[in-house]
Structure 1
Amino acid sequence: MSLLYVIMGLMVGGWGARVPEIRERVGAGEASWGLANSVSAVGDVVALGLVVVLVGRVNARRMSLVGAMGVVLSAPFLGFAPTLSAVVAALLGWYSCAQLMATPMGAQAVEVQRRYGRPLLASFNACFSIAVFAGAGLGAGAAAIGLRPGIQFAVTGAVLGVLLLITGRWLPGEPPPPARRGTRRTRIRDRLTPQLRLIALLSFLSGFVMSVSTQWSALYVADEARAGAALGGACYAVMSVAGVLALLAGDRLTARVDRRVLLRGTSLLAAGGLALAIVAGTPVAAMAGLTVFAIGIAGTSPIIDGFAAQQPNVTATEGISVSEAGQMPGFFISPALIGALAGTVGLKYALILPVLTLTGTALLAARLKATPGSVYSDGASTSGR
């Protein structure tokens, strides 16, 4: 199961490290490159719609395997693409395969933790984050020795593809919940129960805040805190490491603390860290606040997905597909909205919005309901221990 998260992370990290070289090769400016990535993100939306339709018709194992093989096979086309239009086409395919892989992958992770009888979602997310670091390191090393991006992606993809073929049969499927045994699937509109609508909203807020972390943290330290580009980049690296460490500790916390309390606490911790960065008068204080912010938001998505995957009368894949559908608009809206606010009132005041978003998440978390028979500690049984 961890291999799926590693595949996703290695390819994302490798792509991120080679973006400057690829952009320069195809002659794209900042505006055209940003537009190309926005257009390519349409593949995410289309693939998520396809996943929503396929859930209940196609086994989670089959979807994740097809998506993962698509990710490793399409990556070399990104590296060899000779023009910007070719890059857009390759990104469309790559994003589509990644989304086809992501939703069932989360459901399979839930099934693995059910079999082991203890929380594991945060650890799987940590595998992804560590793999992103490794992929970025491989990309930087390949660039340093003059290896073309296409060759790097082809070699990495070949190794990962072989490992996937060897281990794919060990991936778990997804049994239907007992209340629905004998039926194939729940209609799409029937999946939107009050709890799943709440989870979709929480996922939207989570995606919004995570996008803020990715897009604006380094810029805030570099420009608003007047620390310069080098310290801005260093801050983002420290935040990334802090997020991984928080994920590695997340499963132990989830096993011992009510998930609603944990979601409220981590959201308020993140809000406090970001507020400190906003009011900080020095670069060091701003970096410290943003590091606390990164620790707080690291485990948000696994907690929300854990609730989504364990709703009554829907399968894990159905629940997570609703969560993914809620999260995606948050990622898309965040850069444009924060950018517009920053252009009007300045980035410092624009970042008050994610502080309010995190506070709202903490308030809404109290309305989540525990799921009987789960592997968590929020008043539920812990069978399998």
Structure 2
Amino acid sequence: MIPQAGGRFGGRPHGGGGTAVRGCSRYGRARAACTRAPRTARPGNAASDGGRGRSAVLCGSGDGPYADFVPLLNKPSSTHSLTRLRTALTVFFGLDGFLFAGWVVRIPAIKEQTGASASDLGLALLGVSAGAVVTMTLTGRLCRRFGSHPMTVAAAVLLSLGIALPAQTHSTLALGLVLLVFGAAYGGINVAMNSAAVDLVAALRRPVMPSFHAAFSLGGMIGAGLGGLVAAGLSPAAHLLVLTVTGLAVTAVAGPVLLRYPSPSVPSSRVRAASSGARDERAPRPDRRTRRLVAVFGVIALCTAYGEGALADWGALHLEQDLGAHAGIAAAGYSLFALAMTAGRLTGTTLLERLGQTRTLVAGGATAAVGMLLGSLAPTVWLALLGFAVTGLGLANIFPVAVARAGALAGPSGVATASTLGYGGMLLGPPAIGFLADWFSLPVALTTVAALAAVAAVIGYAARRAPAGPAPEARGEDRRSPAATAPARREACPTGPR
């Protein structure tokens, strides 16, 4: 029996912490047609309306309110469940950054172990990029079929196992092959956990996506710091094996939470299909307009990731070569940029709640453009460091917002598209800066980071009227309002307060 409150649902949770269902009262904004039984009908009296259970008051309930409402009771939408999901996802974002940074700090030792030249190492490292890009394009489909939560756990296991492989190689060819596996796991977990985060953001109805990316940044800083501390005392094989054990242990603790609860915004029919291994044929392909909008937000992600990659590889060299900074201060340049980006993401939810997505994108792009102009053209080291910090604050929330918008429009496939374009920008940045530095100078080349940040701001403003979710066709719904498709015998919802 579905509980009632005064003969109608007033937008409050029912069924032991289930999802709040908005009815035809003043608590809901929508004034669609609804199914309402006579006030004399008792709850659950199917006989009074031909077995359709019309005693419940539900707006836009299709052929029967139970078909739409009962699945909501089984979704993990209580505050406790959503909090556990948010915590588990935050752990996986942090683990991703921690493991990847731990691998990066051992690249010099792996280079020495394999005897690779600089060019050979560069080719081997392309294995990470190739594996990530290929897997990103496939993970969106896998998330639609099996669910983003199981895919996140599976990719975390593969990433934890794969990180130990590079230290076991003794040739450039072998290194490149195992980095394909590592890159595939890295690309898979990024798409899967971002898809899960998009669903959770929709369920929480709060723009918390930046907090997940802040966990990634924090994990990266911790992984790099600890890696630097143990580099002198541990061999690459021992260090990466410790990372494997750590990753598997964290996955064993946080993984069951994701496996226990399905994605909050996934209909239960899709969850059942995923759990049985059946393909969800009812998830239609996004229409052309939706795909174009996803590509637009992917370009925004590309513009910002370009700056991250460029500063990671060229920021320290600019400070040391062009401004005469000490090696220690030059190395601190990227650390300051990363710290500012982490701080910006930690405050990103508050910023989004106050400014909204469009203003956050525009303000972030403009701030990053000004900061990078200062960082690249400043005459002194300290002004350049200030510019790096301002750039980090500006870029902090652009990528998370772009991925979230793409995911809201097209689900896991949207996340995959935006992530792939963003990752492409991160790969494009360093070589592009190198070529431009040869043709002009490094300071001039770094101004392209400012230019692309400004482009991201302009695109973000131009896309301000983009819908927050998929078109009705993309959801498999009728374009007409619920009132237009409701049976004629339904009463219209009164517009006045009850």
Q: TM-score, normalised by structure 1?
A: 0.88
Identity of aligned residues (%): 24
SS at match of 1:93: helix
| Cα distance between partner residues in 2 of 1:62 and 1:291 | 37
Task: Identify the match of residue 119 of structure 1 among 169, 185, 207.
Answer: 207
- How far is the alpha carbon of 1:242 from its aligned partner? 1.2
Which residue in 2 is equivalent to 1:380?
A: none
Contact 1:270-1:292 at 8 Å conserved across structures: yes
Q: Structure 1 residues 373 and 43, CA, compared in 2 at 3 Å: closer, same or farther?
A: closer
Report if aligned partners of 1:59, 1:173 keep a CA contact under 8 Å in 2: yes
Q: CA deviation at 1:120?
A: 1.1
CA distance in 2, matches of 1:110, 1:132: 22
Superposed displacement of residue 158, structure 1 = 3.5
> Structure 1 residues 372 and 177, CA, compared in 2 at 3 Å: closer, same or farther?
farther
Q: Which moved more, 1:111-120 or 1:348-357?
A: 111-120
Residue of 233, 244, 250 corresponding to 2:342: 244
Residue number in structure 1 paired with 2:79? none
Shift of 1:52: 4.0
- Aligned pairs for 1:99-178 within 5 A: 99-147=187-235, 148-170=238-260, 172-173=262-263, 175-176=265-266
Does the 8 Å CA contact 1:72/1:160 hold for their aligned counterparts? no
In the other structure, the counterpart of 1:21 is 109
Q: Judge conservation of contact 1:63–1:101 (CA < 8 Å) in 2.
A: yes
2:447 partner amino acid: I
Q: Give the whole-Å Cα distance in 1 for the aligned partners of 2:468 and 2:187.
A: 30
Are residue 58 (structure 1) and residue 153 (structure 2) matched?
no
Task: Letter of the 1:343 partner, please give it.
Answer: D
Q: Does 1:355 align with 2:450?
A: yes
User: How far is the alpha carbon of 1:301 from its aligned partner?
Assistant: 0.5
* Residue 327 (structure 1) aligns with: 422
The answer as to 2:437 corresponding to 1:339 is: no
* Greater helix proportion: 1
Deviations 1:217-254 (A, max 9, x none): 11211112221322110111111111111111111101
Q: Secondary structure at the match of 1:118?
A: coil
After superposition, give the CA deviation of every residue in 1:24-74 in whole Å (9 maximum; x if it has no partner).
111122222112112432111211222244353231122212111110111
1:197 CA drift (Å): 2.5
Q: RMSD value over aligned CA atoms? A: 2.5
Separation in structure 1 between the aligned mates of residue 386 and residue 363 of structure 2, nearest angstrom: 18
Q: Which has the larger radius of gyration?
A: 2
In structure 1, runs of 5+ residues without a counterpart are: 375-385
Q: Which amino acid aligns with 2:424?
A: P
SS of corresponding position for 1:144: coil
Match of 2:399 in 1: 301
Provide the secondary structure at the position in 2 that maps to 1:310: helix
**Counterpart residue type for residue 137 of structure 1:** G
The residue type paired with residue 342 of structure 2 is V
Distance 1:93 1:215 in 2: 24
- Gaps in structure 2 of 5+ consecutive residues: 1-88, 272-279, 471-498
Contact 2:375/2:383 (CA < 8 Å) preserved in 1?
yes
1:31 pairs with 2:126:
no
Aligned partner letter, 1:356: A
Relative to structure 2, which stretch is displaced further, 120-129 or 195-204?
195-204
Question: What's 2:73 paired with?
Answer: none
Q: Deviations over 1:137-174 (max 9, x none)?
A: 33223323335334323332332242244434245426
Aligned to 1:377: none
Mapped pair 1:204 → 2:294: no
Indicate how the Cα distance of structure 1 residues 276 and 165 shifts in structure 2: closer, same or farther if over 3 A, else same: closer
1:273, distance to aligned residue in structure 2 (A): 0.8
Partner of 2:381: 283
**Aligned pairs, number:** 370
Contact 1:108 1:172 in 2 (8 A): no
Aligned in 2, Cα 1:191/1:174: closer, same or farther, shift over 3 Å?
farther
State the AA in 1 paired with 2:408.
Answer: Q
Equivalent position to 2:390, from 263, 285, 292: 292
Determine if the alignment matches structure 1 residue 90 to structure 2 residue 188.
Answer: no
Distance between the aligned counterparts of 2:106 and 2:381, measured in 1? Answer: 29
**d(CA) in 2 for partners of 1:372, 1:357:** 24
TM-score normalised by L of structure 2: 0.69
